[in-house]
């Protein structure tokens, strides 16, 4: 494992019970993501991409295999440790933005920092910096309902990066956007990730966008 690796998955296996039968969805997945690298993960619907992302994000345990984040082997650690690691080492962006509707754009960036124990002044400075990075400084006091779909997803990207994660995990981050807005959000996502020097694993169905990332992996028949 390289010192630059922010994520390493080793022989990840996972299965589900369906109709009384065991369905093997991941059959020994191995992959790495380096710091500052953007990796696309492609594959047909139902092949296990989202499951793999949830395992990488410590939201689900694999049946077997090792998850190593920032040099920490975390596959079988206690829930409290995994929760702390998610707060400090991982960032998430989903197809639906999942912003808190009762809070402004700025507040949506402040809350994750407060949960992580960051002081208010530092949290506000960081939130304002990221709002500027995604071009929404003037929308800081707006609620999600007052923002366009593209603006909401830009806030979601900023939120995913607000705690300076070593690794960003994104599941179809432009999937709900029209082609023009998707292109704008994608360009912003790549630019912001590069500026933050964060590694990123991005699940997408968009082959054209995937080709513009640093590496493209395909999940097929349970392996990468």
Q: Where are the domains of the chain?
A: 36-50+78-218
Residue of 149, 81, 156 whose CA lies nearest to 112: 156
> Is the predicted pLDDT of residue 74 greater than 60, yes or no?
yes
Quick one: pLDDT at residue 112? 93
Fold of 36-50+78-218: Rossmann fold (3.40.50)
**Could you report the per-residue pLDDT of 160-182, keeping only the tens digit for each?**
999 999 999 999 888 888 888 88
Angle between helices 149-161 and 105-115 (to 10 degrees): 20
Quick one: pLDDT at residue 6? 92
**Could you report the per-residue pLDDT of 102-152, keeping only the tens digit for each?**
999 999 999 999 998 999 999 999 999 999 989 999 999 999 999 999 999
Quick one: pLDDT at residue 151? 94
> Is the predicted pLDDT of residue 2 greater than 70, yes or no?
no
pTM: 0.90
State mean pLDDT over 72-93. Answer: 83
Q: What does pLDDT average to over the chain?
A: 90
Q: Which residues contact 70 (CB under 8 A, 6 or more apart)?
A: 6, 89, 166, 167
> Is the predicted pLDDT of residue 25 greater than 60, yes or no?
yes
Phi and psi, residue 66, nearest 5°:
-115, 135
State mean pLDDT over 69-92. Answer: 83
For residues 179 and 174, give the distance between their C-alpha atoms in angstroms, rounded to a whole number.
Answer: 9
79 backbone φψ class: left, alpha, beta (φ>0; ψ -120 to 50):
alpha
CA distances to 110, 111, 131 from 119, in Å: 10, 11, 18
By the 8 A CB rule, do 206 and 178 touch?
no
Going by pLDDT thresholds of 50, 70 and 90, the confidence category of residue 76 is low
Quick one: pLDDT at residue 3? 55
């Amino acid at each position: 494992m390289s010192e630059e690796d922010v994520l390493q998955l080793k022989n990840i296996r996972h299965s589900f019970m369906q109709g009384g039968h065991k369905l093997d969805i991941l059959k020994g997945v191995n992959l790495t993501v380096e710091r500052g690298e953007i990796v696309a993960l492609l594959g047909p619907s139902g092949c296990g991409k989202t499951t793999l992302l949830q395992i990488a994000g410590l939201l689900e345990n694999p049946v077997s295999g090792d998850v190593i984040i920032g040099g920490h082997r975390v596959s079988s650690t206690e829930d409290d440790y995994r929760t702390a690691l998610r707060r400090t080492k991982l960032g998430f962006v989903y197809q639906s933005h999942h912003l808190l509707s009762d809070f402004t754009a700025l507040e949506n960036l402040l809350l994750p920092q407060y949960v992580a124990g960051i002081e208010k002044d530092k949290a506000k400075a960081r939130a304002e910096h990221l709002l500027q990075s995604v071009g929404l400084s003037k929308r800081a006091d707006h609620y999600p309902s007052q923002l366009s779909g593209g603006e909401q997803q830009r806030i979601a990207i900023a939120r995913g990066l607000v705690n300076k994660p070593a690794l960003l995990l994104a599941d179809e981050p432009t999937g709900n956007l029209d082609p023009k807005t998707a292109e704008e959000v994608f360009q912003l996502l790549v630019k912001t990730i590069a500026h933050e020097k964060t590694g990123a694993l991005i699940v997408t169905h968009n082959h054209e966008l995937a080709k513009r990332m640093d590496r493209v992996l395909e999940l097929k028949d349970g392996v990468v």
